[in-house]
């Protein structure tokens, strides 16, 4: 397993070891002992999966307070651009974002600690996206940031007229109007 640090402290790209042969491939997507040895201490308690088509953009979502969640995400089928925005109070990178392309070919995972907003855009015809959370989902603690916030300037690699958004995601506030 290869761990890649990003410019934002705590955000990690994880490349699992993949074994290929004539039958296909095998990789271990999670092993608590290996992750602990690598300094990844989150204990995951909930797994989620979504299927989306090209142009779907989900986010930017987060859980507030005691319901905050760290996530370990990966794309099982297709390709997504995964984005995390630093919302940690007092962080020197507050309001900054980082993105990584996760694909079924590169098998990369993205570790997003608590205190970040998260979203992704689907770049392929379809994508199956999987994520582990270290805390259970609590709808009353849900928050979000408008994913087209001009101050953030995130390039989702999807033209705005092709973006497929939920009504909820269209109504999120701008980062500057957010109350954490």
Question: Residue ranges of the domains in the chain?
Answer: 2-177
Assigned CATH topology for domain 2-177: Jelly Rolls (2.60.120)
- pLDDT for position 81: 98
Report the chain's mean pLDDT, rounded to a whole number.
96
Place of tokens 């319901």: 67
Element at 170 (helix H, strand E): helix 167-170
Residue range 165-180: mean pLDDT, rounded: 93
Q: Quick check: pTM over 0.85?
A: yes
| Catalytic positions | 61, 131
């Amino acid at each position: 397993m290869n761990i890649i640090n990003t410019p934002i402290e705590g955000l990690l790209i994880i490349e699992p070891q993949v074994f290929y042969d004539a039958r296909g491939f095998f990789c271990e997507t999670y092993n608590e002992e290996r992750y602990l040895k690598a300094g990844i201490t989150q204990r995951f308690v909930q797994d989620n999966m979504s299927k989306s088509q090209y142009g779907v953009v989900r986010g930017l979502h987060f859980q507030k307070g005691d319901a905050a969640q760290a996530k370990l995400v990966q794309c099982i089928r297709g390709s997504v651009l995964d984005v995390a925005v630093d919302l940690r109070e007092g962080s020197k990178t507050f309001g900054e974002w980082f993105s990584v392309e996760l694909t079924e070919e590169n098998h990369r995972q993205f570790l997003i600690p608590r205190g970040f907003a998260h979203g992704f855009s689907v770049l392929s015809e379809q994508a199956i996206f999987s994520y582990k959370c270290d805390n259970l989902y609590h709808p009353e603690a849900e928050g979000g940031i408008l994913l087209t916030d001009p101050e953030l300037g995130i390039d989702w690699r999807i033209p705005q007229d092709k973006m497929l958004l939920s009504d909820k995601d269209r109504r999120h506030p701008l980062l500057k109007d957010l109350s954490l």
